[in-house]
Amino acid sequence: MTRRVLGLLHTAESHRARFDRLLTELAPQNVGWVHCVREVLLRQALDTFPVNTIAAGIEAALATLQSQGATQALCTCSSVGGMAEQVGRQMGLPTLRVDRPMAEAAVAAGRHLLVAACLPSTLGPTTQLLNEVAYAQNRRVEIETLLMENAWPLFQAGDEAGFARHIADIILHTRPRPDAIVLAQASMAGAADLLKQSPVPVLASPRLGVASSLGRLTATAGRADMAPGTNQGRIEQGRMA
């Protein structure tokens, strides 16, 4: 059985545990994964550093994942995800931005979309991605944005539960109702869990992104390699700061 390795590029240390849980649940037995955390990339995006500077940092991070055996990569940061896809393509390392599958699901859900974010650096890339996906699907979308910057300090302080509640409360009081609500950052996924009973689909990127990455990674595998099983004990290999 050929072992395959997925590389995960994060811009927040807290994403390790979230994606470990998802991969432990979803990955087949012959798939392992490695992490590379580069918080500086998000700081550079927020401070509007030159594109070349950020791209060089992404290239170094993806090269680190490649050196650990990764043959596919998943960038879990929406702010730099589009650039990660481009850099990965140039390096020959297929890379998926975590919010692309979510964008595809959102466009399929309807025309009127609301993009919710807690960082201004995420609104532009997410809106652009939704428009690109809509164009590729020959659909029209109307996009509104909701910026909740006052929620971000809760995440930075490590209060992820409070962060999720704050986001969910704002969204619950949002009017009018769109066809779908897109949570632009992977860190916002906890709010989607609190809004499962919402009459409007609330889409988060981590699970959809992981499922899509695994599908790409195992696309050439036989059915025997796709047998489900536990991944406990496999996630530590190749992990890095």
Over residues 124-157, the pLDDT tens digits come to 999 999 999 999 999 999 999 999 999 999 999 9
In this prediction, residue 46 carries a pLDDT of: 85
Cβ pair 208, 105 in contact under 8 A: yes
Residue 226 DSSP label: G
* Whole-number Å distance between alpha carbons of 110 and 194: 22
Say whether the peptide bond before residue 176 is cis (omega within 30 degrees of 0). yes
Q: Cα Rg for the chain, rounded, in angstroms?
A: 17
Beta strands in 138-211 (DSSP E): 142-147, 180-183, 202-203
Give Cα 194 distance to the centre of its chain: 19
Whole-angstrom CA distances from 162 to 42, 95, 168 are: 22, 32, 10
CATH code for the structural domain at 4-98+207-226: 3.40.50.1860
Can you give the length of the chain in residues? 241
Q: CA-CA distance, 97 to 77, in Å (whole number)? A: 7
Bridge partners for 35 per DSSP = 8
The SS3 of residue 27 is: coil
Note the pLDDT of residue 176. 73
Class of domain 100-204: alpha beta
Helices of type H across 72-119:
78-91, 100-109
Looking at residue 226, its pLDDT comes to 43
- Strand ranges for 52-179 from DSSP E: 72-75, 95-97, 112-117, 142-147
Please, what are the averages of pLDDT over each run of 10 residues along the chain (241 residues)? 88 94 95 96 87 94 97 95 96 96 96 95 93 96 96 94 96 86 95 92 96 88 43 34 30
Q: How deeply is 102 buried, as exposed, middle or buried, from its count of CB atoms within 10 A (0-12, 13-18, 19+)? A: buried
Per the listing, tokens 């790409």 go with: 216
Give residue for tokens 């399929």.
Answer: 108
For tokens 């699907």, name the residue.
137
Query: 28: which 2 tokens?
Result: 């087949």
pLDDT at position 228 is 44
Q: Which residues belong to CATH 3.40.50.12500 in the chain?
A: 100-204
Residues of the chain with CATH 3.40.50.1860: 4-98+207-226
